[in-house]
Structure 1
Amino acid sequence: MPTVPIFMPQLGESIAEATIIRIDIEPGQEVAADQEVIEVETQKATMGVTTLCKGTVKEITAKEGETYAVGTMLGLLEVTDEEVTKTGVETLESAAQKRVAEAAAQPDEEKNLHFAVDNDSYEEKQPVVEPSVRGLPVPAGVKGAHYISPRMRARMDELGLREADISAIVGTGAGGRVTVEDLEKFLDYIETWPSSHASPMRLAVADAMRRSWTRPLATVSRPVRLDRVLDHRRQQDPKPGLTLYVLRAFAIALSEDPASAGFLIGERIVHPRAFDIGVAVQVDDGVVVPVLRHVDTMTLGQLTNAYADMVDRARRRRLGEDDTRAGIATVTNFGTFGLTHGTPIPLPNETLILGLAAGVKKPVWSEEVEAFVPATEAEIIVTFDHRVVDGGGAGLLLARIDQLLQSPEKL
């Protein structure tokens, strides 16, 4: 009978691989077309792999806990000729025949063109690169030097290590550089320490933060009174969370000054074409940032419903590709953990992130009654790419957000 593969599908434009969490089929089992048969975990969500057509499971080549690249065959189905004709699905046999036919049709003189290089002439054409600096590449005696030798780089690549991973190692090489021997001693030293496996989600967060930190980031904050927001919230049904009030004010402020959310490409600042803003959602092993679209045009009521659905799917790891497609900024409410201050880090593709700290009751001077009155205040914090936004611009942005929050009925 013809056989049809079950492939690891393309689960998102930026996703190259996924880890098998659960296999729901076994050899000999009959499956329907478009049936979810394998559950996989990507850096952003948990998704299902489905069958292309109806058939009987012939073989399962994937293993739970293993990670496979997009396009990898995970299993095989035996199908009928009628099913192949009905669905138009390509079988392994027809794919093999097609490759044979294409190879036979290729002219002999065109074969192996990629390797038709005269080695001697190729070597002669290579430019000779002379070192621009003689002697040590780093000043002698400087501890923790950042230079990494080719040998060290090769060993790090073998182990899958980044520069940040070896920052704890004191180098004994020239200029304080970390040598391969230093690395091996350090790895032996921590071999017996307790450890845990980093999940794909944790690794994705680590990679994003590492890339974000290549830019000059700065943080400013200001207190904002929340009493009017809290009064307005009590009158709503359903009640919007404080995050949504801040999210809405943030979107309006950015729409009035789009350059604040622009990103620098060469000598150009590219402005956003839509005010799509992500919201950081804490999950078991990290943080996901689903994105709400066109926040500047949505009402608080619309945001409340969209946000509730989005957070529910985020915590169940059921976000779609469009849910996590890049926004222009992020809002994170770390005040839910009782934190009164923080320095959030924007995603690599974003210039800004706005943080909301916990509200605190405190006495605040009132010019109206000329006395201290009790008020609820919270810090709003913005971290920004200092190449695009200056401290003054970030301060004005926070001032505008504060102003908007004092008229919550207009949000």
Structure 2
Amino acid sequence: MAVQAQRFREFRMPDVGEGLTEAEILKWYVGVGDTVTDGQVVCEVETAKAAVELPIPFDGVVSEIRFDEGTTVDVGTPIIVVDAGGEDAPGGDEAGAAAAVAAEAVEAVEPAPEPAAKRTAVLVGYGVAPSSTTRRPRKQKPGGPVPGEPLNGHAAPAAPAAPAAPAAPEAPVAPEVPAAGAPAAGAPVAGALRPLAKPPVRKLAKELGIDLATVVPTGPQGEVTREDIRAAAAPPARLPLPAADDVAGVTSTGARETRVPIKGVRKAIAQAMVTSAFTAPHVTEFVTFDITKSMKLVQELKADPAFAGLKVSPLLLVAKALLVALRRNPEANSAWDEANQEIVRKSYVNLGIAAATPRGLVVPNIKDAHDKTLPELAAALGDLVTTAREGKTSPAAMQGGTATITNVGVFGIDTGTPILNPGESAILAFGAVKLQPWVHKGKVKARHVTTLALSFDHRLVDGELGSKVLGDIAAILEQPKRLLTWS
């Protein structure tokens, strides 16, 4: 079989977030042997900003998947190899050519299969991916692979015996001693062939002290899976803990600590918050006021035909009040350009809404929120929150924000001291709305009361300006008719 240089095409991890260096593979939608077409989504990845589905840019049959789900991969690294079935000029994809050579070598040593049989596909994590070890790969011998010698991470089957002079028998190799907890009888014994397993599975086996040769494989291609390793390591085969550990309070019922890798959205949040906290001098101001009239307006808007099918909540009026306050105090809608030593005044507002998702806090923003009517703003808020909770927020939706609202009141919290998003001048915390005793028209009555907290960059916004912005927001929510008179 002649090598076709461009037959095997690699799809590399793209930069889906404007300058990001890595992404985590969350889910594969295809497997080895599946047919894919140009534009078909093959996997979902999570960057430091969002979860994104990746379409493949060519047709073919999946011949190799390089990385397992849950693996973080650098941008530009091949993640999947597709057999495009073409025959191109030499000098093409080296990785694809190498995969073809490997496949040809395997076929050269295998006996002729039955007509209905299929060649075993290369396992994930094996093949032509560059190795991170320092050991140099052995050169291919002219006559094909040596029987019993590993080929791309797999042990090559023994070739048919050929007439040759008898060779001196090799010294017997002592079998490995089974790890603690491994079955002593009836288990497979390590032989000449290396057990098939993906690199993450081998790592898990090493961490748990499990000998792969003693594990019965259940994978579709005869490989050892994670479940096989966990089953082999499951109690009651574990040895009891020493008495000294019992005295220290450690028991064998489970771990006392859980370590979670810092990556994806959580890593981006941490980096952004540290940058913001130690770059922009924060000042936070608070105001507590009667929001009863806004709460009544919310109920009226819910029955208004203009808001049919839309979610109307107090957050909608808080967002509109912030937009009006920024228009009345445009100096507060600015950004600090350290590189050029300039203050950038903005005539638009991309309003960020902090949303809690299973992957962490994300802050997508509504583009040009200042130009939207109240129903349009309600629709944009609903779409933004729904998309964020589904984990489908695009990186573009989280870029270019100018001011943010964080609604801590939904958790029953009165208020907080929010940290600015990098590049923004202000962030407003909306606290819980509660019925409290309040002096209204000279009498103590039960009124809806809330607290707002405004954090701002003191390089851009001084105390007077920050107080004006926060005071305007509270005044609008106390008397919602100001949405008309101040607009």
Matched, 1:23 2:28: yes
1:326 to 396, 400, 424: 400
Distance apart, 1:193 and its partner CA: 6.2
Give the root-mean-square deviation of aligned CA atoms: 2.4
**Contact 1:29/1:57 (8 A) holds in 2:** yes
Matched, 1:65 2:70: yes
Measure the CA separation in 2 of the matches of 1:309 and 1:341. Answer: 25
Measure the CA separation in 1 of the matches of 2:466 and 2:92. Answer: 58
**Contact 1:255/1:275 (8 A) holds in 2:** no
Distance apart, 1:199 and its partner CA: 4.4
Measure the CA separation in 1 of the matches of 2:311 and 2:384. Answer: 16
Higher helix share: 1
Measure the CA separation in 1 of the matches of 2:479 and 2:374. Answer: 13
Gaps of 5+ in 2: 98-254, 303-309
1:377 to 439, 444, 449: 449
Matched, 1:315 2:389: yes
1:229 to 262, 278, 294: 294
Pairs aligned (count): 309
Measure the CA separation in 2 of the matches of 1:209 and 1:321. Answer: 18
Q: Which moved more, 1:308-317 or 1:60-69?
A: 60-69
1:210 to 264, 274, 283: 274
Measure the CA separation in 1 of the matches of 2:353 and 2:411. Answer: 16
1:249 to 321, 334, 357: 321
Q: Which moved more, 1:235-244 or 1:249-258?
A: 235-244
Amino acid at match of 1:224: F
**Secondary structure at the residue paired with 1:331?**
strand
Measure the CA separation in 1 of the matches of 2:258 and 2:381. Answer: 36
Distance apart, 1:27 and its partner CA: 2.4
2:337 to 262, 265, 279: 265
Matched, 1:9 2:14: yes
Task: Give CA-to-partner distance per residue, 1:191-228, whole Å, 9 cap, x none.
Answer: x9613213422211111110011121111010132111
Amino acid at match of 1:279: I
Match of 1:77 in 2: 82
TM-score, normalising length: structure 1? 0.70
Distance apart, 1:331 and its partner CA: 0.2
1:95/1:269 Cα in 2 relative to 1: closer, same or farther (>3 Å)? farther
After superposition, where does 1:126-145 map in structure 2 within 5 Å?
none
1:195 to 258, 261, 264: 258
Matched, 1:404 2:476: yes
Measure the CA separation in 2 of the matches of 1:268 and 1:258. Answer: 16
**Contact 1:3/1:91 (8 A) holds in 2:** no
Measure the CA separation in 2 of the matches of 1:41 and 1:25. Answer: 17
Task: Give CA-to-partner distance per residue, 1:87-123, whole Å, 9 cap, x none.
Answer: xxx9626999xxxxxxxxxxxxxxxxxxxxxxxxxxx
**Contact 1:36/1:49 (8 A) holds in 2:** yes
Measure the CA separation in 1 of the matches of 2:311 and 2:77. Answer: 46
2:52 to 47, 50, 70: 47
1:19/1:263 Cα in 2 relative to 1: closer, same or farther (>3 Å)? same
Gaps of 5+ in 1: 97-191
TM-score, normalising length: structure 2? 0.60
**Secondary structure at the residue paired with 1:361?**
strand
Match of 1:154 in 2: none
Measure the CA separation in 1 of the matches of 2:54 and 2:335. Answer: 36
**Secondary structure at the residue paired with 2:461?**
coil
Distance apart, 1:56 and its partner CA: 0.9
Match of 2:134 in 1: none
Measure the CA separation in 1 of the matches of 2:53 and 2:439. Answer: 57
**Contact 2:329/2:465 (8 A) holds in 1:** no
Distance apart, 1:346 and its partner CA: 0.9
Distance apart, 1:263 and its partner CA: 2.1
Match of 2:159 in 1: none
Distance apart, 1:274 and its partner CA: 1.7
Amino acid at match of 1:357: G
Measure the CA separation in 1 of the matches of 2:25 and 2:95. Answer: 28
**Contact 1:5/1:91 (8 A) holds in 2:** no
Pick the structure with greater CA Rg.
2
**Secondary structure at the residue paired with 1:269?**
strand
Task: Give CA-to-partner distance per residue, 1:310-346, whole Å, 9 cap, x none.
Answer: 1111011101232111211110010100011211111
**Contact 1:16/1:70 (8 A) holds in 2:** yes
Distance apart, 1:379 and its partner CA: 0.6
**Contact 1:331/1:354 (8 A) holds in 2:** yes
1:346/1:26 Cα in 2 relative to 1: closer, same or farther (>3 Å)? same
Measure the CA separation in 2 of the matches of 1:26 and 1:94. Answer: 19
Match of 2:426 in 1: 352
Identity %: 29
